[in-house]
Chains A and B, each alone.
Chain A
């Protein structure tokens, strides 16, 4: 290759390392910020970034992030006993929990917490969907085996999910319906056996490709560009501003 590859799916023009650090800073800021509009802006920005991922991959992340945030917004006012603000609704009194009510302050706090959770989940979605994990982890330069184990573990969940769907289809195809917790629990053993077999095959393939041999090198990675440094400085500034002003 004439050029050192940069990745199409990195968020914008950033390298994976600075992009991951920036996402961490954004997540931290989301926890520190107390102004509703500021968290809203963060969440909206992250939402727009998530939309850059292919549709079939992004929907579980979006569903999880938005539904978690919405749940916090809808449910937390009922159980928030801090009170304050104008009483909008008063419900029944439940033993242990107390009186269910909703005030304007509780609503604002719920919106703040809901948006915080959404922003955090979306930052994770951008990390999961758009960053090159191979290079991100190997860029750490130390503990290559551990780094690879992390990358492979990232793939384990979708592999297990595919295997579970395939196994259910294979059994249903024979006219056997699987139902209930007990039915699905019976699938655990074959799923574990399948993933062990897959792991053995993978280990064999890795060994045949020289994994574990002394003197391994690293493919060169592009140096950080100005945008990467700007992202780092901007992220640090965001955390400072979140701490002191927002």
Chain B
């Protein structure tokens, strides 16, 4: 008997076009389902429909029926479905309620009325299952993104749900952190629906694949069959996710220097050096990727290169104008419309702002509030807002986070062309598939390899 049944589900958020159109599917107990599709295709909305958050929390127009473990979401509120369904959302910082990690995991158990004597043993088991026992007594505000995401997964697992919904849960994790997360997920017995932009990882976990596009279910098939369909119809979703599909020259003639970092060291107040004695050169025409695990100093080095931080030792020389795209730019939006947000970087020049928005596929959104965009659209808006002034050096911190494979390839192609026009690009990224002329590994502070 199916665990979840979705029948002819259509849904639109208040004042918006349809987010889901006529979706029908069933989820069987123990299934691992990868939910793929472009940004804004309705993946998160479908997950919310399965947890009852759509329509109860968001409102909107809901047609059809969703039943999970006998609970019809039209009647059962999300809080009543907690325990049967659990969700891990994209951004761990926005889902943490309590001060200590172990209390965070206990929070849901208390809410669903677990017998008090069983709460701490279940907290312990859940933290152990995700390899986070050592974090139990840590304050949640002090945890890294990766640690916090594990605690969030533990909080979901502690509920012992029949259906676990994962909405891009590894978007903030480095590859090792993401692998550890998926290993923890792999050991679970629950039915899992995983929405993920790291397609290779998602496919490796799945025995069934759903592909959404424009709110419609384009594909619902076992993994092998789905891989063939993806290879034929959506080839970027079929790749392993570790090979760049944008060509860059392997050998480049030496060009003029744009950025030089010599023996740069920096430590945050009272802490150990985040960056210690790093040398880095960036020349015209180059795309250079800064790689490293969470906490290896990529962001710090990017800020030093941009002039947002001053080194405590060493020197930074810039031979041109440098602009910096912060990590998670969708959170740091300053203006009331998309157009004004981009025009901010060029003294209010709306013509240039429009051109930049068109370039990044956001021409439909000139007058919309930036916070009404999807996460992937906000990432593109962030890139448009720094690129609009056409700086000599563009420094980007995790620009591919939340981007679907098509948008990622478009961004990589655009950055390659941007650099080829006599500028340079420095990208701090977890994404090993990001196309670059050189890749600099931080942590070991060494250059990994040229070309690729």
A-side residues, CB < 8 A to B, are: 1, 4-5, 7-9, 54-57, 59, 132-135, 148, 151-152, 154-155, 158, 163, 166-167, 169-176, 186-187, 189-190, 193-194, 197-198, 201-213, 215-220
A5 touching B136 by the CB < 8 A rule? yes
B78 within 8 Å of A (CB atoms): yes
- Provide the main secondary structure of the chain A interface: helix
B332 touching A166 by the CB < 8 A rule? yes
Cβ–Cβ < 8 Å partners of B97 in chain A: 148, 151-152, 202, 205-206, 209, 211
Cβ–Cβ < 8 Å partners of B116 in chain A: 217-220
B89 touching A193 by the CB < 8 A rule? no
Residue in A166, A198, A207 whose beta carbon sits within 8 Å of that of B57 in the complex: A207
CB distance from A169 to the nearest CB of B (A): 6
Q: How far is the CA of A197 from the CA of B331 in the complex (A)?
A: 9
Q: How far is the CA of A57 from the CA of B96 in the complex (A)?
A: 19
CB distance from B268 to the nearest CB of A (A): 8
B91 touching A220 by the CB < 8 A rule? no
Given A134-B103, A210-B112, A217-B110, is A163 in contact with B345 using a C-beta cutoff of 8 Å? no
B11 within 8 Å of A (CB atoms): no
Q: How far is the CA of A189 from the CA of B51 in the complex (A)?
A: 32
Residue in A8, A59, A167 whose beta carbon sits within 8 Å of that of B270 in the complex: A59
Cβ–Cβ < 8 Å partners of A208 in chain B: 51, 53, 78-79, 81-82, 85-87
Residue in B78, B106, B382 whose beta carbon sits within 8 Å of that of A207 in the complex: B78
For the A-B complex, the count of residue pairs with Cβ-Cβ distances under 8 Å equals: 188
Contact with A along B112-124 (1 / 0, CB 8 A): 1111110111011
Q: How far is the CA of A148 from the CA of B124 in the complex (A)?
A: 23
A213 touching B385 by the CB < 8 A rule? no
Considering the complex, give the chain A residue whose CB is closest to the CB of B92: A205
Residue in B57, B102, B111, B303 whose beta carbon sits within 8 Å of that of A209 in the complex: B111
A175 touching B334 by the CB < 8 A rule? no
9 inter-chain pairs at a CB distance below 8 angstroms, sorted by A residue, are A170-B382, A172-B324, A176-B344, A201-B91, A207-B56, A208-B82, A208-B87, A210-B80, A219-B120
Considering the complex, give the chain A residue whose CB is closest to the CB of B106: A219
Cβ–Cβ < 8 Å partners of A187 in chain B: 334
B332 touching A170 by the CB < 8 A rule? yes
Given A172-B308, A173-B325, A201-B89, is A210 in contact with B303 using a C-beta cutoff of 8 Å? no
Contact with A along B224-258 (1 / 0, CB 8 A): 00000000000000000000000000000000000
B37 within 8 Å of A (CB atoms): no
Considering the complex, give the chain A residue whose CB is closest to the CB of B117: A220
A213 touching B82 by the CB < 8 A rule? yes
The winner among A1, A4, A174, A190 for most chain B CB atoms within 10 A is A174
Cβ–Cβ < 8 Å partners of A205 in chain B: 87, 89, 94-95, 97
Cβ–Cβ < 8 Å partners of B321 in chain A: 175
Q: How far is the CA of A211 from the CA of B96 in the complex (A)?
A: 13
Considering the complex, give the chain A residue whose CB is closest to the CB of B109: A219
Residue in B83, B100, B136, B382 whose beta carbon sits within 8 Å of that of A210 in the complex: B83
Residue in A155, A190, A217 whose beta carbon sits within 8 Å of that of B99 in the complex: A155
A135 touching B103 by the CB < 8 A rule? yes
A5 touching B94 by the CB < 8 A rule? no
B108 within 8 Å of A (CB atoms): yes
Q: How far is the CA of A170 from the CA of B109 in the complex (A)?
A: 38
A190 touching B333 by the CB < 8 A rule? yes
A166 touching B326 by the CB < 8 A rule? yes
B82 touching A175 by the CB < 8 A rule? no
CB distance from A134 to the nearest CB of B (A): 4
Q: How far is the CA of A216 from the CA of B109 in the complex (A)?
A: 8
CB distance from A139 to the nearest CB of B (A): 12
A202 touching B95 by the CB < 8 A rule? yes
Cβ–Cβ < 8 Å partners of A211 in chain B: 79, 97, 107, 111
A134 touching B98 by the CB < 8 A rule? yes
A166 touching B344 by the CB < 8 A rule? no
Residue in B56, B99, B136, B270 whose beta carbon sits within 8 Å of that of A56 in the complex: B270
B389 within 8 Å of A (CB atoms): yes
Q: How far is the CA of A173 from the CA of B85 in the complex (A)?
A: 41
B271 within 8 Å of A (CB atoms): yes
B294 within 8 Å of A (CB atoms): no
CB distance from A63 to the nearest CB of B (A): 11
B271 touching A56 by the CB < 8 A rule? yes
Cβ–Cβ < 8 Å partners of B335 in chain A: 190
CB distance from B66 to the nearest CB of A (A): 14
B326 touching A209 by the CB < 8 A rule? no
Q: How far is the CA of A5 from the CA of B57 in the complex (A)?
A: 34
Cβ–Cβ < 8 Å partners of B96 in chain A: 202
A132 touching B100 by the CB < 8 A rule? yes
Residue in B94, B108, B113, B308 whose beta carbon sits within 8 Å of that of A169 in the complex: B308
Cβ–Cβ < 8 Å partners of B80 in chain A: 210, 213
Within 8 A of A (CB), among B305-324: 306, 308, 321, 323-324
Residue in B95, B98, B119, B332 whose beta carbon sits within 8 Å of that of A220 in the complex: B119
B95 touching A215 by the CB < 8 A rule? no
Given A210-B111, A210-B112, is A173 in contact with B78 using a C-beta cutoff of 8 Å? no
Q: How far is the CA of A194 from the CA of B335 in the complex (A)?
A: 12
Q: How far is the CA of A169 from the CA of B395 in the complex (A)?
A: 13
B61 within 8 Å of A (CB atoms): no
Given A134-B103, A148-B97, is A155 in contact with B141 using a C-beta cutoff of 8 Å? yes
Cβ–Cβ < 8 Å partners of B113 in chain A: 213, 215-217
CB distance from A61 to the nearest CB of B (A): 14
Cβ–Cβ < 8 Å partners of A169 in chain B: 303, 308, 324, 326, 332
